[in-house]
Amino acid sequence: MEAPYRALNALPLPLAECKVRKQGFSVCIIGGGGTGAALAYDLAQRGLDVTLLEKGELTSGTTGRHHGQLHCGARYAWADRNIARECYEESLTLSRIASGCIEYSGGFFVALSEAEAALQDRFRNCCFEAGIPATALSVETLLSIEPRISAKVRAAVRVPDGSFDAYRLAMMFFAAARNLGARVLPWQEVVGFDISAGRMKAVLYRNLLTGREERIEADFVVGATGAWTGKLGMLAGLLVPVSPAPGTMLAVQGRLVDHVISRLRPPSDGDILVPQRGLTIIGTTERRAENPDWIHPEPEDAELLKAAGEEFIPGFSALPVRAVWAAARPLSNMAGYAARGDAGGRSLSRDFSVLDHENEGISGFASIVGGKATVLRAMGEQAADLVCAKLGSNVACRTGDYALPSWRRFFDGGRP
């Protein structure tokens, strides 16, 4: 029996019913990934005049390369119940507002050894403390639902995970942002800032389609550039402690499972299987890198991931490989920032924060640091809260209340 998670939630409102009252402030967002998309939609809905600049195609940095696991938070519950709880809340919210691109089917944590099986009670307790429903099921039941899983399986726990189309989820936020009047501009590379008397005045960018340099003035500028945050900060003379941490994923032909399957153990390399249409993705690995513009898998990554897949599903490593690719996650070293109290009291319990660069002497400029795909809406909300507070606007966030339009609607009305 599949748990009807969707039935737990009330239906969201259509976006056409959303009334926006103009606030008279302008914001420039830099970065066209999922975070920038969620922030652009949030601010446009609160009545701000939004322009978003992305140097390449939208979602071409890290966002689109995500394996697509909609995290209920169970993966994080081992280490941090607050991050896990927030993931769960956000996964429920996304399943309401972006249901068109989400397979909300649940997931299983499987123990493939006696040692992993011995962790089951601790794992379920961690989930319980985070408010995440995690129920044990028999090995027989698991294998009746997912017959390809290795006979080595010793225990299984069902959790409300899901999977999403990483490109389409972000494009739904972009479609909503455009629908509410935001200008979403790909192929615009930021090359500098106009900062005077400690205040951000304008963003300078090059239109890569025309080669022309342009300038946009804004009341507030937010960097949402993920693994590029360190690079962007340098353009403003700031040292923002974020560097790229590439992770490799591998997709084989064949939909081997219908649910997200995770190893029942604390997070490590090669411990997640995600079904993606007719493919099965195994992720991930983690390394460090210098340049987020040239992220590629190392040869040994594919072998490691195939071997990890083989542990889940006998025969995995012999299947035809559709693709091996890497994505540059933003890795932040926030130790030096921990005491500053940026962006509200909750930030220290999260894995993302909004840095107000007024603390480094540039007002009207902030950066979103860290985070993960499942919490993109919450990241947008927190950054929008900071922007609105700084500008003296007190409109509340409503992005959880309305259904996002289809990604197809982003392309309505001609080029932005």
Partner 1 sequence: MKFTIFIGQATNQTRYELDADPSITVLEALEALRGGKAPEILYRHSCHHGSCGTCGALVNGTPRLICVTKLGDLGTREIHLKPLEKMERLGGLAVWPGPFFAKLPDTDYLRPSTREAGDEAFDPDQAVLRLEDCIECGLCFSACPVEGEFLGPAALLAVAVEREKHPDREKEMLDLAGGPTGVELCEKRYECSKVCPQGLAPGRKIAELRKLLG
Q: Which residues bind partner 1 (CB under 8 A)?
A: 1-2, 56-60, 63-65, 100-101, 103-106, 143-145, 147, 165-168, 187, 208-209, 249, 251, 254-255, 258-259, 275-279, 281, 291, 293-294, 296, 322-323, 325, 327, 406, 408, 410-412, 414-415
- Considering the complex, state which of residue 126 and residue 282 has its C-beta at the smaller distance from partner 1: 282
Minimum CB distance to partner 1, residue 355 (Å): 27
Minimum CB distance to partner 1, residue 336 (Å): 29
Minimum CB distance to partner 1, residue 123 (Å): 23
Q: Which helix (H) or strand (E) holds 41?
A: helix 34-45
The two tokens of residue 89 are 């809340």
Minimum CB distance to partner 1, residue 133 (Å): 17
Minimum CB distance to partner 1, residue 64 (Å): 3
- Considering the complex, state which of residue 363 and residue 406 has its C-beta at the smaller distance from partner 1: 406
In DSSP terms, 392 is beta-bridged to none
Minimum CB distance to partner 1, residue 171 (Å): 9
- Considering the complex, state which of residue 325 and residue 352 has its C-beta at the smaller distance from partner 1: 325
Query: Which residues, in sequence order, are CB contacts of 122 under 8 Å at separation 6+?
Result: none
- Considering the complex, state which of residue 120 and residue 285 has its C-beta at the smaller distance from partner 1: 285
Q: What is the end-to-end Cα distance of the chain in Å, rounded?
A: 45
- Considering the complex, state which of residue 258 and residue 269 has its C-beta at the smaller distance from partner 1: 258
Taken in order 53, 398, 343, 365, is the CA torsion positive or negative?
positive
In this structure, what are the phi and psi dihedrals at residue 23, rounded to the nearest 5 degrees? -100, -15
* Whole-Å CA distances, 248 to 61, 126, 268, 302: 14, 28, 13, 8
Query: Which residues, in sequence order, are CB contacts of 356 under 8 Å at separation 6+?
Result: 342, 343, 366, 386, 390
- Considering the complex, state which of residue 125 and residue 138 has its C-beta at the smaller distance from partner 1: 138
List, as own/partner pairs, every contact residues 10-17 make where C-beta atoms lie below 8 angstroms and the sequence separation is at least 24, other chains included.
Answer: 10/96, 11/96, 11/403, 12/96, 12/97, 12/400, 12/401, 12/402, 12/403, 13/401, 13/402, 13/403, 14/402, 14/403, 15/176, 15/179, 15/180, 15/402, 15/403, 15/404, 15/405, 17/402
Minimum CB distance to partner 1, residue 279 (Å): 7
Minimum CB distance to partner 1, residue 62 (Å): 10
- Considering the complex, state which of residue 129 and residue 412 has its C-beta at the smaller distance from partner 1: 412
Q: Which helix (H) or strand (E) holds 376?
A: helix 376-391
In this structure, what are the phi and psi dihedrals at residue 242, rounded to the nearest 5 degrees? -130, 130
- Considering the complex, state which of residue 130 and residue 327 has its C-beta at the smaller distance from partner 1: 327
